[in-house]
């Protein structure tokens, strides 16, 4: 279990495969192991070296219950890349991880060659602001939802109608969600990061090649907000994957991985 000191914290990472490195950044509450299901095998099979890690807030990386910012998360990735003697690297992020990836591309273009942004946005609209506020208030209330109820809510928020209507598939998802470990103290700080300022004008300054992958049935980061990011970043490619919700990279990994790998193979412009 490699753990390195980075940006004032202890950061846990995994390094798999050989070839050009790809750093993958998870979303709110997500651990590095999620990437191991589909994306790491696809990347290593394509000849890449996949580097996954747990964001601050997710053990065994430092949980930092005192709080942290998006800038801190960007610094963690930059520090990891430098600590491993890499760069420029290809970067893949989803949801909050995509926020980190796009800010990294803006702040440290010397460390980034290509970026894949899944389920992203460049601003917080009224619904996403209300959702984040509600989740933080629930967390702060100390109320613990029954695991099955929490699992059903997560499914409704994160999965597509196609999956929700598939009885066998949904049963597996609900079991998985119900068995998920309870949220630690670092999750609240990650929730705060979701209060993203309007960064669309700033993203016009991103100069590295970017691909935005949106999921047609995503209610957390809907496609029109992802398209705004693609429109803001010069030359960015926009891809829409049908029949998927916020967890589209897990619902339809074959389609997502094909798009991702083809883009990452484009070179280190």
Catalytic position from the list 158, 194, 246, 252: 246
Phi, psi at 64, each rounded to 5°? 50, 60
- Helical pair 167-179 and 147-158, crossing angle rounded to 10 deg: 120
Q: Is 95 labeled as catalytic in the residue annotation?
A: yes
Q: Is 38 labeled as catalytic in the residue annotation?
A: no
Beta-bridge mates of residue 4: 11
Q: Is 62 labeled as catalytic in the residue annotation?
A: no
Catalytic position from the list 95, 113, 160, 194: 95
SS3 string of the chain? CCEEEECCEEEEEEEEECCEEEEEECCCCCCCHHHHHHHHHHHHHCCEEEEEECCCCCCCCCCCCCCCCHHHHHHHHHHHHHHCCCCCEEEEEECHHHHHHHHHHHHCHHHEEEEEEECCCCCCCHHHHHHHHHHHHHHHHCCCCCHHHHHHHHHHHHCCHHHHCCHHHHHHHHHHHHHCCCCCCCHHHHHHHCCCCCCHHHHCCCCCCEEEEEECCCCCCCHHHHHHHHHHCCCCEEEEECCCCCCHHHHCHHHHHHHHHHHHCCCCC
Catalytic position from the list 72, 217, 218, 252: 218
Active-site positions? 95, 218, 246
């Amino acid at each position: 279990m490699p753990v390195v000191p980075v940006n004032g914290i202890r950061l846990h990472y995994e390094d798999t495969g050989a070839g050009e490195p790809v750093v993958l950044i998870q979303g709110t509450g997500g651990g590095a192991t999620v990437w191991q299901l589909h994306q790491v095998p696809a990347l290593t099979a394509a000849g890449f070296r996949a580097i996954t890690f747990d964001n601050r807030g997710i053990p065994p990386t430092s949980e930092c219950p005192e709080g942290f910012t998006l800038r801190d998360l960007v610094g963690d990735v930059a520090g990891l890349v430098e600590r491993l003697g890499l760069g420029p690297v290809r970067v893949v992020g989803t949801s909050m991880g995509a926020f980190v990836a796009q800010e990294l591309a803006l702040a440290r273009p010397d460390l980034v060659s290509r970026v894949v942004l899944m389920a992203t946005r460049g601003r917080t609209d009224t619904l996403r602001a209300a959702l984040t506020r509600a989740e933080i208030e629930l967390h702060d209330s100390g109320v613990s939802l029954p695991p099955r109820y929490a699992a059903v809510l997560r499914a409704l928020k994160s999965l597509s109608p196609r999956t929700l209507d598939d009885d066998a598939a949904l049963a597996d998802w609900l079991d998985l969600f119900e068995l998920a470990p309870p949220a630690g103290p670092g999750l609240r700080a990650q929730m705060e990061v979701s209060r993203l300022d309007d960064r669309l004008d700033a993203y016009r300054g991103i100069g590295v090649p970017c691909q935005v992958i949106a999921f047609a049935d995503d209610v957390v980061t809907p496609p029109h907000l992802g398209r705004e990011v693609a429109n803001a970043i010069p030359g960015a490619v926009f891809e829409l994957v049908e029949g998927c919700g916020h967890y589209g990279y897990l619902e339809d990994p074959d389609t997502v991985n094909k798009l991702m790998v083809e883009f990452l193979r484009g070179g280190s412009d």
